[in-house]
Amino acid sequence: MINEHIFYGIKTNRLEAWLDFFRIQCGKQFMGCLNICGFLMLSLILRLLIPSSVHSSDITTHVESLTIPFAERYPKGDVIYARNVWDLQVFEGRLYIGAGNYDNEGPAPNAGPVPILALDPVSGAVVREGEADDEEISRFEVIDGKLFIPGTDARESWKLGNLYRREANGQWLKLRTIPRAIHVSALTDHFGHMYAGLKATDTVPWYVDFKGYGSAVAVSGDNGVSWKFLPLGDTASMLF
């Protein structure tokens, strides 16, 4: 959660900022699986590889409040929870911001549709480029030079899931083509094919999930126009 849902910018040396980012990500992703000896070894390796002259310093005085991007969409009360920034993505000189909430319970349950907003760093303005007909924008992905939004939780029938692609003219194209997708949790590409990680309907037997919801991967060879559906065995997990 970003403090009070306010968007902050940091004016500092780029290398220092990347070092901070790397340390934060190490803490988030790896501390749970590294024992203390392993972490100490990682710290030692970092200190050996990175000269002391470029180690990050306190940048508190360089932090500035920029804006509250989703204040208009989620103005007050419990709904402000949906202002939380879930993802940031730089693309063609703008910083794209994901928000909303796809949880079925409060605060701010099922907070779609979500405006597609981007911060213009030159003017400082937040630009609205479109709208995602999903409850949340959880992530942006850049694939083959194009910007995509996987549909976290479609507000329509779960017979199909959503994918959004930014076109060359700046407009967003909605591709409602992903079969049986409740949640499109991940999107990536590999050797000319696009892969979407899903929680999907009619995927597992009743003794795994009584509703039949389970994990699957959808594969597309034509930029999301059509998909091949691949269940991931008898598992209801959807970690991608």
Boundary-marking domain end, from 47, 67, 87: 67
At 180 the pLDDT is 84
Assess whether 18 and 111 both reside in one domain: no
Residues 6+ apart with CB under 8 A from 205: 212, 234
What are the CB-based long-range contacts (under 8 Å, 24+) for 205-209? 205/234, 208/234, 208/235, 208/236, 209/236
Assess whether 23 and 87 both reside in one domain: no
- Determine the straight-line distance between the first and last CA of the chain, rounded to whole angstroms: 21
Q: Which of 101, 121, 116 is nearest to 5 (CA)?
A: 101
At 222 the pLDDT is 87
Domain count, the chain: 2
Residues 6+ apart with CB under 8 A from 181: 151, 154, 158, 160, 161, 162, 196, 198, 199, 200, 218
Assess whether 4 and 112 both reside in one domain: no
pTM comes to 0.72
Are the C-beta atoms of residues 114 and 152 closer than 8 Å to each other? no
Assess whether 89 and 19 both reside in one domain: no
Q: Would you write out the chain's pLDDT as a tens digit for each of its 240 residues? A: 444 455 555 444 444 444 454 444 444 444 444 445 555 565 666 566 655 555 567 777 777 777 889 999 999 999 999 999 999 999 999 999 999 999 888 899 999 899 999 999 888 899 999 999 999 999 999 999 999 999 999 999 888 889 999 999 999 999 999 888 888 888 998 988 999 888 776 666 555 655 657 778 888 988 888 888 776 666 555 554
DSSP annotation of 171 reads P
- Residue 240 belongs to a domain: no
At 67 the pLDDT is 83
Its domain, for residue 37, covers: 1-67
CATH of the domain at 192: 2.120.10.10
13-22 core/surface letters (b: 16 or more CB in 10 A; e: else): eeebeebeee
